């Protein structure tokens, strides 16, 4: 056994929040409401006679019957309802706080306590990884702190979008606790699919390099000999317990999830210019891409059994092995999600083979591995060509199953020929319009929808989707009172009962576009040495802005629009040692250096 030093900051108390109210439920239990869904524990003053048994039950939800709901998350996964403490009183007043426990909750049900609690008897303690940023508190009221462990920010004229941004922050803070988790109430697993799509957003809030360096080391350590990657890290497998379970071995084949081994190192390099991460993970990256290429080349799906190999490009089509697919597509019943697991998704898996091969080629170039760069770039080109031949028709106006995510992947992963891109974006817009400007994407593509639309000339449609407030949409959750991101768009079933996790960061990828699209702040080169300021001005917003804590200092951009005249005032701040390209009306750009810069121009109204 080899002991390895800890690289991640310890989990500790970050700050405390006040109790907003204490009420009695119809059954007589006391219900504490913090007004915010948090991850942590409570500090509660308990008074009662000796021998009293007090039960504390933690939940994100109070049901429509007025009682704390403990079974909404997934009763088949947690039949024993683990978010519960039992306290035996001695007759003396105590301040109770649990040890070696952490919960996801907004509400705490107190049962068996004779004394009535007041709001001053209890505090919520937010636990999390200390990302080495200061906590900003109100000196007049330290318990009403602003959760500003991040110097990054977003503001605009629509308070709903500001609330959405805050909700994403709270889910980020709660689910990056020691290791990545999908939710704090249920299995608490670091699903690779969830985290690979969320890394760019996480970089906007805190410095996640040490956190994900450790995560990636664990991923490489648990990667199977054939290159497959377990669907969650840590996997829980151990040779002392019989090794990887059958479930783990089968699901370790899934693209989108296993591609975290390639996508996350590249994203950390891009946002932090950390070549060391590429170097340390390079072998793992190669093993995953090689495993996909080998399965495409040697695998034989049921279709090929019956029809035979009819085209040379089929050696680059990945249509074997387990696939999670486009998990939880909006508006699809859960049975459809399960069906796509049973039936292969070759258009999705082949697209990821091409995308990861492209990223691996770029990583090889950064590391000076010229032969590998040529090898994997060739794999990307051949796989993209095979993908187009197999799944693209009518000059890009028909791709695969004709779903929004099919067109998003083709455009975002650079799989289409230049002459096919217009047809693809036109068809994507048609599908969005047919859905009444709602998204129908799942985990894999939701975060790519708005930038794909905007970067291809349809920011008007991107704003329509962003500002939609009927389900499925981000602002529906805000309108429904969410204080964190939900696992499903609705959060409740048709009967009004809470459903699935109410603290799940996956759909919070929208916060990336709030900063990179609405405010227009993004890196042009790895590590933010060159910065692009190109806000998409419009959407009915009169002003918007953001700041991003880059490795070189704070980058900020804010704009104000006079709707009557079309005049835009843009205020930009660039940190030392950086150069920025500021894009204004009609694509006009100006290059500036460090410091504050003011621009004024007119939009065509």
* Tokens coding 506: 């996956």
pLDDT at 144: 46
Neighbouring residues of 1: CB distance < 8 A, sequence distance ≥ 6: none
pLDDT at 603: 87
Is residue 303 predicted with pLDDT exceeding 90?
Answer: no
487 is catalytic: yes
- Tens-digit pLDDT profile for residues 240-271: 777 888 888 899 999 999 999 999 999 999 99
Is residue 602 predicted with pLDDT exceeding 70?
Answer: yes
pLDDT at 132: 61
Q: What is the SS3 assignment for 156?
A: strand
Mean pLDDT of 290-311: 75
Decide: 110 and 26 in contact? Cβ < 8 Å: no
DSSP code, position 588 = -
Classified by CATH at the fold level, domain 530-602 comes out as Maltose phosphorylase, domain 3 (2.60.420)
DSSP code, position 312 = G
C-beta atoms surrounding 566 within 10 Å: 14
Is residue 334 predicted with pLDDT exceeding 90?
Answer: no
CATH number of 11-146: 2.60.120.260
Decide: 296 and 316 in contact? Cβ < 8 Å: yes
- Tens-digit pLDDT profile for residues 542-590: 999 999 999 999 999 999 999 999 999 999 999 999 999 999 987 899 9
In terms of Cα–Cα distance, which of 226, 25, 18 is closest to 123? 18
Is residue 341 predicted with pLDDT exceeding 90?
Answer: no
- Tens-digit pLDDT profile for residues 193-205: 999 999 999 999 9
Among residues 222, 314, 487, 516, the one annotated as catalytic is 487
- Tens-digit pLDDT profile for residues 140-190: 344 444 455 677 899 999 999 999 999 999 999 999 999 999 999 988 899
Is residue 426 predicted with pLDDT exceeding 90?
Answer: yes
Domains 11-146 and 530-602 share a fold: no
The secondary element (H helix, E strand) that includes residue 178 is none
Helix (H), strand (E), coil (C) string for 461-527: HHHHHHCCCCCCCHHHHHHCCCCCCCCCCCCECCCCCECCCCCCCHHHHHHHHHHHHHCCEEECCHH
Where do the structural domains in the chain lie, given as residue ranges?
11-146, 153-392+408-417+501-517, 530-602
187 is catalytic: yes
238 phi/psi in degrees, rounded to 5: -155, 140
pLDDT at 137: 42
Share of the chain above pLDDT 90, in %: 79
Question: pTM value?
Answer: 0.94
Mean pLDDT across the chain: 91
pLDDT at 146: 44
Among residues 9, 187, 389, 490, the one annotated as catalytic is 187
Which has the minimum average pLDDT: 7-21, 73-87, 251-265, 324-338? 73-87
Classified by CATH at the fold level, domain 153-392+408-417+501-517 comes out as Glycosyltransferase (1.50.10)
pLDDT at 70: 85
Mean pLDDT of 333-337: 64
Cα–Cα distance between 420 and 423 in angstroms, integer?
6
Cα–Cα distance between 192 and 258 in angstroms, integer?
7
């Amino acid at each position: 056994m080899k002991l390895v030093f800890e690289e991640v900051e310890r989990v500790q108390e970050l700050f405390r929040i006040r109790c907003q109210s204490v009420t009695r439920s119809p059954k007589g239990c006391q219900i504490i409401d913090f007004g915010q869904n948090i991850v942590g524990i409570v500090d509660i003053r308990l008074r009662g006679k000796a021998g009293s048994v007090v039960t504390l039950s933690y939940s994100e939800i109070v049901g429509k019957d007025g009682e704390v709901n403990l079974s909404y998350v997934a009763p088949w996964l947690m039949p024993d309802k683990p978010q519960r403490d039992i306290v035996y009183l001695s007759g003396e007043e105590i301040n109770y706080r649990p040890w070696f426990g952490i919960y996801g909750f907004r509400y705490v049900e107190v049962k068996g306590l004779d004394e009535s609690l007041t709001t001053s008897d209890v505090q919520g303690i937010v636990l999390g990884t200390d990302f080495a940023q200061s906590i900003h508190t109100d000196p007049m009221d330290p318990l009403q702190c602003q959760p500003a462990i991040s110097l990054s920010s977003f503001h605009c004229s629509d308070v709903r979008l500001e609330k959405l941004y805050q909700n994403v922050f709270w889910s980020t803070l709660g689910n990056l606790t020691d290791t990545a988790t999908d939710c704090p109430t249920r299995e608490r697993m670091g699903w690779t699919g969830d985290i690979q799509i969320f890394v760019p957003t996480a970089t906007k809030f805190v410095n996640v390099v040490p956190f994900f360096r450790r995560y990636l080391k664990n991923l490489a350590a648990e990667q199977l000999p054939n290159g497959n990657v377990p669907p969650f890290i840590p996997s829980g497998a151990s040779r002392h317990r019989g090794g990887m379970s059958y479930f783990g071995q089968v699901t370790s084949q899934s693209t989108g999830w296993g591609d975290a081994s390639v996508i996350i190192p590249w994203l950390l390099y891009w946002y932090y210019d950390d070549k060391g991460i590429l170097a340390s993970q390079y072998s793992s990256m190669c093993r995953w891409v090689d495993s996909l290429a080998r399965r495409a080349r040697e695998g034989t799906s049921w279709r090929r059994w019956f029809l035979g190999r009819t085209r040379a490009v089929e050696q680059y089509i990945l249509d074997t092995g387990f696939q999670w697919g486009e998990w939880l597509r909006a508006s699809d019943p859960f049975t459809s999600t399960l069906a796509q697991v049973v039936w292969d998704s070759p258009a999705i898996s082949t697209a990821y083979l091409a995308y990861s091969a492209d990223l691996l080629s770029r990583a090889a170039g950064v590391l000076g591995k010229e032969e590998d760069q040529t090898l994997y770039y060739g794999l990307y080109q051949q796989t993209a060509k095979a993908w187009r031949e197999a799944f693209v028709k009518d000059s890009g106006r028909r791709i695969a199953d004709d779903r929004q995510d099919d067109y998003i992947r083709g455009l975002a992963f650079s799989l289409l020929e230049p002459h096919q891109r217009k047809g693809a974006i036109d068809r994507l817009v048609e599908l969005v319009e047919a859905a009444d400007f709602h998204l129908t994407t799942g985990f894999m593509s939701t975060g790519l929808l708005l930038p794909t639309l905007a970067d291809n000339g349809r920011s008007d449609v991107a704003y329509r989707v962003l500002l939609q407030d009927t389900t499925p949409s981000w602002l529906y959750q805000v309108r429904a009172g969410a204080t964190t991101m939900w696992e499903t768009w609705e959060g409740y079933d048709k009967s009004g009962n809470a459903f699935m996790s109410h603290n799940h960061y996956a759909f919070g990828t929208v916060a990336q576009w709030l900063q990179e699209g609405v405010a227009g702040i993004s890196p042009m080169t790895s590590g933010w040495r060159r910065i692009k300021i190109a806000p998409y001005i419009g959407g009915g917003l009169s002003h918007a802005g953001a700041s991003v804590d880059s490795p070189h200092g704070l980058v900020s951009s804010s704009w104000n629009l006079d709707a009557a005249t079309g005049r835009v005032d843009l205020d930009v701040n660039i940190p030392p040692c950086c150069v920025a390209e500021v894009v204004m009306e009609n694509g006009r750009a100006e290059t500036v250096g460090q410091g504050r810069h003011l621009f004024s121009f007119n939009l065509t109204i």
